[in-house]
Amino acid sequence: MTDAALATPGTTVPGGLRRRSARRGPQRFRADIQALRAIAVLLVVVYHLRPNRLPGGYIGVDVFFVISGFLITSHLVRDAARTGRVRLGAFWAARARRILPASLVAIGATVAVTSWFAPVTAFADLAKQALASIFYVENWVLAGDAVDYSAAENDATPFQHFWSLSVEEQFYLFWPLIVFAALWIVARRKGAADGHDGRRLRLVLLVMFGAVVLASFAYSVYAVSQGQVDAYFVTTTRVWELGAGGLLAVIGVRRLPRGVRALLVYAGLAAIAVSAFTLTSESPFPGLAALPVILGTVAVIVGGTAGQDAPAPVPPSWDRWDPWTRASRLRAVQWIGDRSYSLYLWHFPVIIIWTMMADRTVDYLDIIAMSVVSVVLAHFSYEFIEQPVRRASYFSSSTPRTLIAGLVAMVLVAGTTFAYPVMTARAAGGGDWDALAQQASALPRTGAAAVLRAGDVPTFTTADAAVTPSPLLAGSDRNAIFSDAECVAGQRDAVTPECTAGDPSADPSVVLVGDSHARMYSTALAELAERDDWHLRTYLHNACPFNPVPREIEVQKESVCTAPNEVVMNELLASRPDLVVTTWSSSAAMVDDGAEGAPGAAGFAEYWNRLEDAGIQVLVIRDTPRMSVDVPDCVAQNYDDPDECAVPREKGLRGEAVFADATRMAPRASVADFTDRLCTAKVCKAVVGNVVAFTDRHHLSDTFVRTLKPELAAALTSALAAG
């Protein structure tokens, strides 16, 4: 998203555009690269506004990476070849003047707005990501969250787009060190007097940069092929994209024939466009899928070198018929290209905060408004923050002054994140939610146990409001025992892993299989296995109900559920456990294959009947209600009256036709229904017996499911006895 000066030595800028270097005379401006930056930022913005319209628009980031690598390396190599040294401090100071002012203002403003309008339950994650963005390690924080089941399902924060800026800044830290090392190698081979020989330097850099690019590309392909969920964010899978631009800068291309240049430009633009429209958020990326984007961007840059290296401006006749040359010089295109960094900085916070405050599905008027606000903020950021600081002689005249000021500014903006704990305390109204949670957890009966005692569904069993866990922790109160990525497959994983609890030699043997709604019962079942001395195995695959019928989302691409489901079924038939426990999210729409009943019902029944025919008992747990709001957020806002978060029973229990039809077609399967532990005749509650029952809109909390253990144990016993 950032860039070096988009200029190369020359005289007059084609099309009347003129840029001057701060240090040296007039330079020729690469209008085509500026246009490419405009395309890149618009791809990203449109993708974030309407991902269904441009499903692969995120590749705009990859276009930025190549441009940044090319421009930064061009300056480094040119200066190193001319002077025989790399001024690391001056380089990093120039980057700080270019990058920090606008980004720190954007982060500070986002902290200020979100501390007032974001849900209090999001504050911890917001603080973590704000700090990570300030110090440019956001990509590693998101990589860690990607492999953390609970964190992976968190809503996007307005700082999330800083992952790509973090990759770039980390690149800027080590890339000039390679140039420094290359100069040292050249100096040792030729002697200090002529150690900055440009040709030798480029040859050494070609080898060193090439090694980095090849290693990073190979690792990117490997990580993506292995389904590593953090592969999208980590620097090691992305350096090759910036390095590709760096290699281009070292190799250089001069005076290509006009027809070759045109072929490169339009082939490159076509590769970018095809990727933007054909890739989706489900595509394995980066890896091989990023190669057309990277090569396409390289081709466009190479194809535009005529104006850079030719001794005279591009002939007017070329302008008259070449659409790319003409379009790239349009004032609107250059205006967007100038402001592309600020537009990238501001558009994502605007989208996230606008959506958060709207608290509804945004429509086209919202999209227009978000676009206008983003562009206005980008313009003001460019005119009054980016350019003034960049041109300020007070900083440009002193490298130490710039670096010290940048560090101080980062620390000061980091201090603004203290607003989050302050606002958390304010939201608690002076109460200690952690202490109240301990008080609630010490009650004789909570959750389902309180329902059994009261014969109703009481919100509180005490006169005073007290809930457990604290609303600030409720979002992560799930899957305590099988929380490692090794025990749960991601939606796109090709294999469903097996994990165990209890004594492997004990009897009976119970298997829990299904999607994240089956996983809700894993902690309580593991504790029962340890307590009652039986063996539990799990086959858990997020977003994959245990069904031979594919989900609707699989129709347009290779199936991600049916193949691993069949492998699990074969394993169950071979190992012959005593009991299989399963459930699934009722919102998982299945393909209508024309079979009897609601779509998917016959598939569930087929699997259950196959197990029963093999002498394996089946226990089906009816799915949980689906709430209208994020429960921890709502409880935090309505701590004294969490019934404000309840949903009408008929609304919460939608999508039950599949369950009814499947159980009818597989009558030997046992059924456990815990609906009345959450719902009255009229509503389904968010807090039951002082326990926050949900971690989001539809996943039960571990704390609540633990209160169901007596009923779970009874259901298991009954199902086993049915055989």
Instruction: Provide the sign of the torsion angle of the four alpha carbons 195, 197, 201, 203, taken in this order.
Output: negative
Q: What pLDDT does residue 43 have?
A: 97
Residue 723 has pLDDT above 90, yes or no: no
Q: What pLDDT does residue 128 have?
A: 96
Q: pLDDT tens for residues 603-639?
A: 999 999 999 999 999 999 999 999 999 999 999 999 9
Using CA atoms, how far residue 513 sits from 530, 580, 622, 714, 715, in Å, is 19, 7, 14, 19, 16
Q: What pLDDT does residue 285 have?
A: 93
Using CA atoms, how far residue 80 sits from 83, 110, 334, in Å, is 5, 39, 30
Mean pLDDT of the 374-382 span: 97
Distance CA 674, CA 165 (A): 47
> Does the bond joining 257 to the residue before it have cis omega, within 30 degrees of 0?
no
Q: What pLDDT does residue 199 have?
A: 84
Beta bridge partners of 498: 539
Q: pLDDT tens for residues 235-249?
A: 999 999 999 999 999
Q: Which two tokens stand for residue 689?
A: 């017996």
Pairing state between β 488-489 and 687-688: unpaired
Lowest mean pLDDT among 61-65, 207-211, 325-329: 325-329
Residue 9 has pLDDT above 50, yes or no: no
Beta bridge partners of 619: 581, 670
Amino acid at 586: S
Beta bridge partners of 581: 512, 619
Residues 6+ apart with CB under 8 A from 717: none
Q: What angle do CA 265, 267, 270 make, to 5 degrees?
A: 105
Residue 22 has pLDDT above 50, yes or no: no
What's the pLDDT band for 11 if we cut at 50, 70, 90?
very low
Distance CA 358, CA 366 (A): 9
Lowest mean pLDDT among 173-177, 226-230, 416-420: 226-230
| CA dihedral angle for residue 593, residue 597, residue 603, residue 605, rounded to 10 degrees | -160
| CA of residue 502 relative to chain centroid, distance | 35
Q: What pLDDT does residue 148 have?
A: 54
Q: pLDDT tens for residues 24-71?
A: 444 456 889 999 999 999 999 999 999 999 999 999 999 999 999 999
Mean pLDDT of the 489-508 span: 87
Distance CA 536, CA 499 (A): 8
Check if the beta carbon of residue 307 is closer than 8 Å to that of residue 313.
yes
Q: What's the DSSP call for residue 402?
A: H
Distance CA 320, CA 635 (A): 64
Q: pLDDT tens for residues 116-170?
A: 999 999 999 999 999 999 999 999 999 988 755 455 556 789 999 999 999 999 9
Amino acid at 311: P
Q: Which position has the token pair 């005119």?
A: 383
Q: Which two tokens stand for residue 632?
A: 């921890």
Residue 656 has pLDDT above 90, yes or no: no
Q: What pLDDT does residue 434 have?
A: 87
Check if the beta carbon of residue 185 is closer than 8 Å to that of residue 200.
no
**Angle, helix 88-117 to helix 162-190, in steps of 10 degrees:** 170
pLDDT > 90: what percent of the chain? 69
Residue 13 has pLDDT above 70, yes or no: no
Beta bridge partners of 684: 647, 679
Q: What pLDDT does residue 24 have?
A: 43
Mean pLDDT of the 345-352 span: 97
Pairing state between β 488-489 and 19-20: unpaired
What's the pLDDT band for 15 if we cut at 50, 70, 90?
very low
Distance CA 272, CA 296 (A): 6
* pTM for this predicted structure: 0.85
Q: pLDDT tens for residues 576-588?
A: 999 999 999 998 8
Residue 311 has pLDDT above 80, yes or no: no
Q: What pLDDT does residue 464 have?
A: 85
Query: Is 83 in a helix, a strand, or coil?
Result: helix
Distance CA 28, CA 9 (A): 6
Distance CA 582, CA 421 (A): 40
Residue 114 has pLDDT above 80, yes or no: yes
Q: 74-112 b/e with 16+ CB inside 10 Å = b?
A: bbbbebbbeebebbeeebbbbbbbbbbbbbbbbbbbbbe
Residue-range domains of the chain with CATH: 7-421 (no CATH), 435-721 (3.40.50.1110)
Q: pLDDT tens for residues 391-442?
A: 999 998 999 999 999 999 999 999 999 999 999 888 877 678 888 899 898 8
Q: Which residue has the higher pLDDT, 259 or 89?
A: 89
Lowest mean pLDDT among 173-182, 358-367, 477-486, 683-692: 477-486
Distance CA 632, CA 618 (A): 33
Q: Which two tokens stand for residue 688?
A: 């039951």
Q: What's the DSSP call for residue 695?
A: S
Task: Identify which of 390, 459, 496, 506 has the alpha carbon closest to the alpha carbon of residue 643.
Answer: 459
Task: Identify which of 345, 356, 415 has the alpha carbon closest to the alpha carbon of residue 116.
Answer: 356
pLDDT > 70: what percent of the chain? 90
Average pLDDT, the chain: 88
Check if the beta carbon of residue 57 is closer than 8 Å to that of residue 44.
yes
Ramachandran area for residue 377 (φ above 0: left; ψ -120 to 50: alpha; else beta): alpha
